[in-house]
Copies of this chain bind each other. A is one copy, B any other.
Amino acid sequence: MSYFQRHIFFCLNQRDNGENSCAQHGAQAGFDHCKSRVKKLGLAGPGGVRVNKAGCLDRCAGGPVAVVYPDAVWYSFVDNSDIDEIVESHLKNGEVVERLVLPANIGK
């Protein structure tokens, strides 16, 4: 059994060389909002949900991105309402939010 039922990692990578990175596209705000919602809904903790910071997840073309494990479902999000949907639908109820799933061919 997985220590966390669902573990979501947000790329918060910040590039300082002028190249695009998730941090320039609202990644931190998405992470903060997700963390706060998960806590408020009482989902956080062992056996529940963990919301995690991560470095570059190497799928920058779809950024900002996050990945939910052990499901291995990748998301691209735009705003807090996208995050709300990921939290309610996937993290809480285990239903993938298909409209936000990163296409398979999106890479670095």
**A→B interface (CB under 8 Å):** 2-3, 7, 9, 46, 50, 52-59, 67, 69-72, 74, 104, 107
Contact = CB atoms under 8 A, between A and B. Distances in A.
B58 A55 contact: no
Q: Quick one: copies of this chain in the complex?
A: 2
B57 A54 contact: no
Given A69-B69, A72-B69, A54 B9 contact: yes
A57 B58 CA distance: 20
A72 B2 contact: yes
A104 B1 CA distance: 9
A52 B7 CA distance: 14
26 contacts: A2-B72, A3-B59, A3-B74, A3-B104, A7-B67, A7-B69, A7-B72, A9-B9, A9-B52, A9-B54, A46-B107, A50-B57, A50-B58, A52-B54, A52-B55, A52-B56, A52-B57, A53-B55, A53-B56, A54-B54, A54-B55, A69-B69, A69-B70, A69-B72, A70-B70, A70-B72
Nearest to A106: B3
